[in-house]
Structure 1
């Protein structure tokens, strides 16, 4: 079942698909899509294994299955609404606390924990993380509560807090998520954006057949790019890239997924000022808003509305293309090699650069991202199309709760961060680190080459771009099957 996209509606007639979906937690196959969430990190220190198992069983009984999520969703992205979604993930510490009741999932990275992998990721040490909650110890588990209604999330959160009181479980930190949105085109629904103002989550791997049919139809309808005559980039991925067997599952098709959680604080005011400074350095001190926006697109790889820079010098004002590749921009003139989306989703650059027979090197590290913003909601213009806090943007306490599911932490998340985002020589020597999430102590690796490849005769120039995204905490987890959560210790 994991070798091809899963058709969830087959569960009405196929008992194997039904068994898989009933035992898998929500949010893995498809984002829960709710705009409000709470993420409660828990510690089990000092608790007996039987007591830990009892707590996990009780929480597990309230977790949402993939089957329930898919049946109750009433709208499609970015506004899913099918009631509450509740999930429970366990860190290595959680499995250790369970003792003989559970086998530890495989993987050196998972077993070591995220803080111990700082040298691989170029992360700051735990001592430099957010003081409240993250700095003291690694969480053993995390409860995710999500709903379209923020008051419903608060009620759920308070109910869990009351129930945990007296169990011996320590609540380490609670991270509230509030998805920021913008309306880019009149008459259309607002879209999820991160605090820098760019559409977030546009390019996702799809391994649910019903969603894939819609996306492939959309890609087929995109205007063709004469400079990129090749086949469009496919959103089709095997579920086995994100779903693995649960070593502790109790049902025939028990499955789960490795889950990475990172709290990434964004200095929005600094980023916006640096974008404007870059635009003036590239296009002159009198550069207008369109050129300043172009400079930002050279950092991100897309304009704010999601239009890929490789396809247009300005936003198209229509449905955003997503089937693009970089086949027509092999010199990185239109979309720089360092641009965030090109660094972390190279779409054929790896195959081309290293002469590989297929694009597996470009596709295999891709993760199923499920992140959402945190921090106060930024004020918007009356029509919801622009932020209304120019010069007063947040510099701290706002950012992205990065979350992603995958089959291998080492081969997907860590590879992407270390070998792509942090590697100044990917995809070519001298490219520089990813200017958005790249981490390095060497200022020279934050120098990037810029060229407006859409304008004949444009002169390349090299400019620095500082780091405005900072890790404040996080951990590696595993999202177990519901049969394990509800039966552990029995």
Structure 2
């Protein structure tokens, strides 16, 4: 039974029929066939990404590969969205019981993880995987960008040429298996099992290691701290929300949802899976990109920008204050390191990772610059104000981010450390969502207005252009100031409220691929494929 992909705020435990007429039975059936980590992050802090290239020259090689993929479902390894939901509920219930008996120790937490959940496993296929394994055109998802693959789209996205990518990503990649767990022994044991099985069928595999950086403001590990990325900012705050429980949490714990509604319909990330059993089979398109972060370069830019901020505040200032540096970083990202939106105030400290804000009161970009990363990638109504584009269209371009950091877990990496983000995002259209955000917004130096410049965090110039070729972005001379005109003379002199300074391009794309996350029924059916 098909479900209504226009529905928002789903609740698999609700016996009542919601307004969109999706019954609990139909919803649970769809979630039981849907892989996890799509509608909600798998939530584990440690993960391994296995990139697989199968032997596909001979029919028997292709058959072994197809049977291995199907066997992942037959062995109950692949985590469904329903299993993920039920495990999260069991975890909360056990956590509540432990809390009632006192503080939860590290030992208690480990026991909680082991009893409430299994390792998360997800299986993704590339267009090359569908083609080389002869899975059939009728079973292959048809998103044009997915079919073309990430290598073909590199120039459009101003990515480096494929010849400059890391070797793993220059190869033909057929599949990606994500294994994640917070119990290291279980994680490593399962990864070793999979590696041995792949070697036994002659498949080549390469691995990326991800770890969520739960660090407090001082940069010290803290299990209760929010997740940060290597530039030091709390990450993953604003996401499309699909479950009623998460939307209710945003309403009560993230400042409400009246200014910015984070809810999203299922169709934001789900599409029918043509290879699934029936019309209740769904999947999602995933973009994978390895993004290396130059922390020192970013911090140098913070200080240079802060020096200008200090100078406009006090012409006699010789050095920026810590507050100036914090504001400079907030201008670049759109939030302070603790998550406080810079559009709301010029200092950090709101806490609780607020997300209920818009730019309605900052139409000129004097609080949050138009170039700021979070404003570029989620304009929150700016397109309607600037171009008359309906907010409903702008909201369809959101992506569900499912990435995790790689490299040493620290906010102060050494010069030789390779650190960054294993970026993943889910969507129903790669071209209309991820590619549009990257190419038309982040890389577009005239979005949202002329002179906005590149997104300082992920914006990139086409290959061959140097940093010096980028437009100097515009920054407020004084936070929130719109009126510096002296009307004692007429006409009043024209005063620019902004100064220009070039910052950014400290994130480098090292390779990637486009994948589809098939339904469990589709994966299982691969064992029965008969080549024409």
> Which TM-score applies when normalising by structure 1?
0.90
Aligned to 2:103: none
- Does 1:463 find its partner at 2:501? yes
Post-superposition Cα deviations, 1:30-53, rounded to whole Å, max 9, x if no partner, equal 101100000000012435332221
Match among 476, 485, 488 for residue 514 of structure 2: 476
- 1:54–1:464: structure 2 CA closer, same or farther, 3 Å change rule? same
The equivalent residue for 1:27 is 37
- Deviations 1:73-130 (Å, cap 9, x if unpaired)? 1259xx9953310000000111012215562211221111101101210100111112
Distance 2:479 2:26 in 1: 51
Q: Report the alpha carbon displacement of residue 182 of structure 1 after superposing the two structures with TM.
A: 2.2
Stretch moving more, 146-155 or 2-11: 2-11
Three-state SS of the structure 1 residue aligned to 2:207 is: strand
- Structure 1 residues not aligned, in runs of 5+: 223-230, 379-386
> For residues 139-162 of structure 1, what are the alpha-carbon distances to aligned partners after superposition, in whole Å with 9 as ceiling and x for unaligned?
110000000123322111111011
Residue correspondences, number: 465
Counterpart CA distance in 1 for 2:515 and 2:15 is 28
Q: Does 1:375 align with 2:407?
A: yes
**Partners of 1:278 and 1:463 within 8 A in 2:** yes
> What value does the CA root-mean-square deviation take over the aligned residues?
2.4
Deviation at 1:240, TM superposition (A): 0.5
SS of structure 2 residue aligned to 1:144: strand
Structure 2 segments unaligned to the other structure (5+ residues) = 17-22, 94-108, 312-317, 485-495
Alignment of 1:87-486 (within 5 A): 87-101=122-136, 103-131=139-167, 133-135=168-170, 137-171=171-205, 173-184=206-217, 189-219=224-254, 231-284=258-311, 285-356=318-389, 358-378=390-410, 387=411, 389=412, 393-394=414-415, 396-440=417-461, 441=465, 443-451=468-476, 452-454=478-480, 460-486=498-524
CA drift of 1:446 comes to: 4.2
Look up the match of 1:63: 78
Instruction: Tell me, in whole angstroms, the C-alpha distance in 2 between the residues paired with 1:298 and 1:430.
Output: 15
Q: CA deviation at 1:11?
A: 7.5
Asked if structure 1 preserves the Cα contact closer than 8 Å seen for 2:160 and 2:509, the reply is yes
Q: Residues 446 and 375 (structure 1 numbering): CA distance in 2 closer, same or farther, change over 3 Å?
A: farther
Write the distance in 2 (CA, Å) between the matches of 1:86 and 1:188. Answer: 23
Query: Cα deviation per residue 1:59-81 (whole Å; 9 max; x = unaligned)?
Result: 233101111111011259xx995
Alpha carbons 2:250, 2:256 under 8 Å: kept: no
Deviation at 1:295, TM superposition (A): 0.5
Comparing 7-16 with 237-246, greater Cα deviation is found at 7-16
Partner SS, residue 134 of structure 2:
helix
**Counterpart contact for 2:459–2:504, Cα < 8 Å:** no
d(CA) in 1 for partners of 2:223 and 2:127? 44
Do the aligned partners of residues 462 and 2 (structure 1) sit closer, same or farther apart at CA in structure 2, a change above 3 Å counting?
A: same
Change (3 A) 1:453 1:395: farther
Q: How far apart are the structure 1 equivalents of 2:323 and 2:398?
A: 32
Give CA-to-partner distance per residue, 1:352-402, whole Å, 9 cap, x none.
11123x302321110011111001111xxxxxxxx4x4xx54555210010
Whose Rg is larger?
2
Q: Aligned with 1:270: secondary structure?
A: helix
Give 3-state SS (helix, strand or coil) of 2:510's partner. Answer: strand
Which secondary structure does the structure 1 equivalent of 2:470 belong to? helix
Greater Cα shift, 318-327 or 262-271? 318-327
CA contact (8 A) 1:267 1:396 kept: no
Task: State the alpha-carbon separation in 2 of the partners of residues 96 and 459 from structure 1.
Answer: 55
Deviates more, 1:61-70 or 1:323-332: 61-70
